[in-house]
Structure formats: structure tokens, C-alpha cells
Structure 1
Amino acid sequence: MRHSTFRQLEVFDAIMRLGSFRKAAEDLFLTQPTVSMQMKKLTQTVGYPLFEQAGKRVFPTEVGRELHKTTREIFDDLARFDMALADLKGVRRGALSIAVVTTAKYFAPGILGRFCERYPTIEASLKVCNRAHIIERLIANKDDFYILGQPPEEIEVDAEAFLANSLVAVASNDHPLADQKQIPLRRFAEEPFLLREPGSGTRAATERLFAEHGLKVRVRMDLESNEAIKQAIMAHFGVSILSRHTIMMEIASGHLKVLDVEHLPIARSWYVVNRKGKSPSLVASAFRDYLREYAAESNRLGP
């Protein structure tokens, strides 16, 4: 095992968590052949099979389960080291200010909450605004970081993708298109649309998709929140394209349905952004490192 690499163990851990080479590849932003190659090398190092195939899922062998126990111990030890190192660097005290666009409110509190569990003496604040207000705060340099679906082009910023953000077609669960497969985008465009206000990143992505295929969105209503859009969809006012993060509860409860529409979902990412050249505090640096860790290890809110 001395010849195995940390990356191989990361890939192995992702497969164990997700039960699929494909999902592990998506989770780690790798290609599936790369994941397969990493596991082939790790298997050769161990000298025994680590997984068994059963349909589309893979299951660990007894050797695989034993290796996973050791892998988790290694990762836990490294996490404890990170915390100790943070203490030595002075991250035990300080303040952190994060501002996020409204769609990010469905996952950002959980990420920030787990960060604060790691550093319980840090004072953290989370502000939720529409994109226009986020840009205003960014220009004024009011916060440590900003989370957006698309970095602004009008300001020089440092931006880093850290989480998948799939935009999906959404309708009520009893919509005429709800049970259809491979719906043409042109047919979907015939439906009345409920969209966020002009300037919204989700709206811009929707309009760009339709324009690329020579179509135009039939806007029935502009709404200033995702909650209002979801309620309007359930009331049969129309359809929409929304971030999958915003509809997880409604999908689980059966009130909304993700439609199978060609050219969808739109693959996007969430970005952590700050003014270009800004020197982060120790606390801000620790939060950015945590987001990188989150992206590499869990990205579990993605599709």
C-alpha cells in the first residue's frame, strides 16, 4: 500500500459512497476512464479485487470493505490535522461574512454550518440577496466571499467552481408532459414560462439555451423568488427551468416533476467569488480550503 496514492484513495472512497464509477467521476470532476484507471492501479497494488459488479452498481468485496475502513481512518486523521493546523495558524478566532444569491440558500447554510462546527469560535454571517444586490455588495467589497451561479463579467474577480449546479425543466406532477420521454425543446417552448426577474443567472441561462436553438421563451410571469415560481407551477400557471437544488423537497413529496427535455439539464457550477487581488483573512482562507475539500470529497447535493 505504500505505492498507492492519496488520489487513488479519494476515488476509491467516492465509489464506496456513491456505489458507481460514473457517479464517482461526476463527484470528483473526473472522466470515467480516469476513475477506472485509478481503481485498476489501486487493485494491482492491493493484489485482490476491491469491487463486484451487480447491474449498474458496484459493491465492495471483503477486501474492499477493509480498505475503506483504513481509508476513512486516514481521512479522519488528516481532518484532525487540518483542525490542529488551523488552530496553530490562529483560525480559532475571527469573523466570516458570506453573501449568496437566493438560489444558493438551499445549500449554503448547510455548508457554512458544517464549517462552523469545525471552527466553533468563528463568528459567521450569511446574507441572501438577489444577483443585483450581490453585485452591489461585491463592488463595495462588503463581504469575504460571494456564491453565485455565474461570476460577474463587469468586475474583476477571482472565481472558483466548487459545486455542480444542474438546471432542469420543471412542471407540476400532473402536467401533460410529466410522463413523456425525450420531449423536443421546441415542444417545451410552447408552454407558458415562469421566470425569475431580469438579471437572474438562471433566467439568463434559460434564455441563452432557447436562443441557441432559434427559440424564444413564452414568458407568462416574472417572479422574484424560486418559492413563488414553485407555488405558481403547482398552481398550473406554467413551467420553468430551475436549479435542481431548489426543488429537492417538492420532487421527493411528488408535487413537482423534472421533465425529460432534450438539451436539458443545463450543466453549470456554483462559484465562490471575491474581488480580484483581495488578501483573505486566515478565517476566509480556511473557508475557501473547506469549499475545496467539500468539492473534492462530497459534492453530494449534485444530481
Structure 2
Amino acid sequence: MHVTLRQLRVFEAVARHLSYTRAAEELHLTQPAVSMQIKQLEESVGLPLFEQMGKRTFLTEAGQELHQTSRAIALQLEETEEVLESLKGIRRGRLRIAVASTANYFATRLLAAFCRRYPGISFSLEVTNREGLLRALEANEKDLVIMGRPPESLDLEAEPFMDNPLVVIAAPDHPLAGADEVSWERLQQEAFVVREEGSGTRIAMERHFASRGVKLRTGMELSSNEAIKRAVEVGMGLGIVSIHTLELELETGRLVVLRAEAFPIPRHWYLVHRRGKRLSPVALAFRDFVFEEAGSLVGSGPARAPAAE
């Protein structure tokens, strides 16, 4: 089988988009040129790689196998290019990073400061939920991931770099707002607006309540921190969120943090990657930058030793 890197690059783009048109736009080629490269590749392989059903394009079984190989080759080539560039100093390179939706409140600030220090660096940022982050780690698609503590069952390197306390929030006119301390017994009587099942915040909340022999009383389940805050603001219940999501609401007085017994819940932000992954010079520089600067840029002190979670 004789296959060129150009053919694999074109194939990977078509397989990723499942669209000849979008692949052509990404690669700055004409659609006929993309179609010709795929046709030549299929002739070399001896099997069809795509099948058309109506207006939709799908990968065949052979196409799925080749897509895994082409993605691995593309990643290896990118890593090699970055290593070669590092021999000239960290002047160029690309950082592929994914962050938990909660971490996005400060991740863009970190990335902006990092790019000011290394102006030749570009980056791709994916903001997703915990499930999406674990998928990205399993597929080795990202250089680094910022998230809460990952499951110990996965073969990952996870380093805590900053505190991430979870606090109880309420509307300013809630009966508990302004109380010197809300007892644990009183808190149990309130309904909570919560994140979806499987989210890092939801897991931490349920563990915290279960450790005291109490079941979390939920009134509404929502899929984002913004939705949680808006629901709490209009009086739909109390919420539990990361302190890092509240900067604007606390400044404007739209929400308050309750002084509640057994709160905040101590948690941490982690930098995570696959165990044994060879980090590019750019990824190593970003890792060092996060440990040096995150506390001052985000307004939280450095992480202490991880609490039991």
C-alpha cells in the first residue's frame, strides 16, 4: 500500500468533518482536489473509505481503521514539529488544551497572560463537561486538561495547582442571606438547584452530604453554572458552585455566599494528561506558567495538599 502524507492529511480532514466541502475549506483546496486525493487513496488501499447515504457521508469499516491511524500520525508530526521548534527557543508552537466548563471562568485569563509572555504561541481551547474531558484524555487528543480531580482508575498524571472551594449561594433576598452561620440542620431543609449527574461539582456535593448521612435535596437539575446562578438569583433554591464562577455576581450584588456550617467544600483544580505522554515544549512551558502564576492571576492562593475526595 503506497500512501502519501498529503493523502492522509486530506483523508483525516474529511473523516473528521464527514464533509468534503468543509475539509476543502479547512485545507484551502477545491472540492474536486479533495475528491481526487480520496479517490487515489481508496485505489491504493483497495477498499472504499466513505459511503454516501442520501446527503450524508459516513466512514466505512476500513475508513474507521484508517482514521485512527491518520490521527495518530498527525499528532506525531505535530509533536515532532514542536520539538524541532523548541531547539530555536519557545517562539512558536501550538497548545491544545481542554478545560472544565467551570474552569473556563479563569482559563482564558491564564491563556491570555501566557500568550503575552510567548507571543508566537497559538492555542486551541475546548470547553466541555467532565465526561467530555475524560473522553479527550482517553483519546489523547489534548496536551493538557484543566479539571477537578479525575478518577483514580484512569492512567493519568494529575497535579493540583490551585484551590477550588465550593460555596453555597443564595439570592440576596433569601431568608438565610446575611445569617451569621447557617447550621447543617437548617441547610438540609432547603432545596438545591444542581448540576447534571456526572459533573464534578455534583459528585462533590453528593459526597459531602452523604458523608454526613444526609441525602441532597434537589429541586431542579441544570447543565451549566450560568443556568444554576440564574435559577438561584430568581429564587428557585440554593446552589453550590465554585467560588471562581461568582466574580461578577458578587461584585453586582446579584448573589450572596452563605456562611454555612461545613462549607466551603475543599476541592482543587488539576492539570491532567495521560501518564507517559511526552509533553511538547509549549505544553511544558504552560505547565510551569500555571504553577507560577495561577494564584496571582486568578486571585486564589496556591493549592494545599489535596483533601480526601
TM norm structure 1 = 0.69
Structure 1 residue 242 corresponds to structure 2 residue 258 = no
Q: Which residue of 2 aligns with 1:211?
A: 210
Q: Which residue of 2 aligns with 1:127?
A: 126
Aligned length: 217
The 1:214/1:299 distance shift into structure 2, 3 A limit, reads: farther
Q: Distance in 1 between matches of 2:278 and 2:201?
A: 30
The 1:165/1:299 distance shift into structure 2, 3 A limit, reads: farther
Report the CA distance between 1:195 and its aligned residue: 0.6
Q: Distance in 2 between matches of 1:89 and 1:149?
A: 35
* Structure exhibiting the larger radius of gyration computed from Cα positions: 2
| Aligned 8 A contact 1:144 1:280 in 2 | yes
Q: Which residue of 1 aligns with 2:291?
A: 292
Q: Distance in 1 between matches of 2:110 and 2:98?
A: 13
Q: Which residue of 1 aligns with 2:92?
A: 93
- Please give the per-residue CA displacement for 1:206-225, whole angstroms capped at 9, x wherever unaligned: 11111111111111111000
The one-letter amino acid of 1:285's match is L
Q: Which residue of 2 aligns with 1:253?
A: 252
Structure 1 residue 189 corresponds to structure 2 residue 198 = no
| Aligned 8 A contact 1:89 1:282 in 2 | no
The 1:93/1:102 distance shift into structure 2, 3 A limit, reads: same
- Please give the per-residue CA displacement for 1:176-223, whole angstroms capped at 9, x wherever unaligned: 000111211221121111110011111111111111111111111110
Q: Secondary structure at the match of 1:286?
A: helix
Q: Which residue of 2 aligns with 1:177?
A: 176
Q: Distance in 2 between matches of 1:175 and 1:91?
A: 52
Q: Secondary structure at the match of 2:146?
A: strand
Q: Secondary structure at the match of 2:232?
A: helix
Structure 1 residue 231 corresponds to structure 2 residue 245 = no
| Aligned 8 A contact 1:186 1:215 in 2 | no
- Please give the per-residue CA displacement for 1:135-183, whole angstroms capped at 9, x wherever unaligned: 1111000000000011232311111111111110101011000011121
| Aligned 8 A contact 1:96 1:124 in 2 | yes
Gaps of 5+ in 1: 1-85
Please show how residues 16-165 of structure 1 align to structure 2 within 5 Å.
Answer: 90-165=89-164
The one-letter amino acid of 1:286's match is A
Q: Distance in 2 between matches of 1:122 and 1:139?
A: 25
Q: Secondary structure at the match of 1:287?
A: helix
Report the CA distance between 1:299 and its aligned residue: 5.9
| Aligned 8 A contact 1:171 1:240 in 2 | yes
Q: Distance in 1 between matches of 2:205 and 2:188?
A: 11
Report the CA distance between 1:249 and its aligned residue: 0.7
The one-letter amino acid of 2:245's match is T
Q: What percentage of aligned pairs have identical amino acids?
A: 48
| Aligned 8 A contact 1:100 1:126 in 2 | yes
| Aligned 8 A contact 2:149 2:158 in 1 | no
Q: Distance in 2 between matches of 1:148 and 1:167?
A: 14
TM norm structure 2 = 0.68
The one-letter amino acid of 1:218's match is R
Q: Distance in 2 between matches of 1:220 and 1:118?
A: 46
| Aligned 8 A contact 2:86 2:281 in 1 | no
Q: Which residue of 1 aligns with 2:299?
A: 301
Report the CA distance between 1:88 and its aligned residue: 6.3
Question: Deviating runs (4+, > 3 A) in structure 1?
Answer: 86-89
Q: Distance in 2 between matches of 1:156 and 1:87?
A: 28
Q: Distance in 2 between matches of 1:174 and 1:259?
A: 12
| Aligned 8 A contact 1:135 1:152 in 2 | no
Report the CA distance between 1:91 and its aligned residue: 1.5
Q: Which residue of 1 aligns with 2:282?
A: 283
The one-letter amino acid of 1:117's match is R
Worse-matched range after superposition: 210-219 or 95-104: 210-219
Worse-matched range after superposition: 101-110 or 155-164: 155-164
Q: Distance in 2 between matches of 1:209 and 1:89?
A: 50
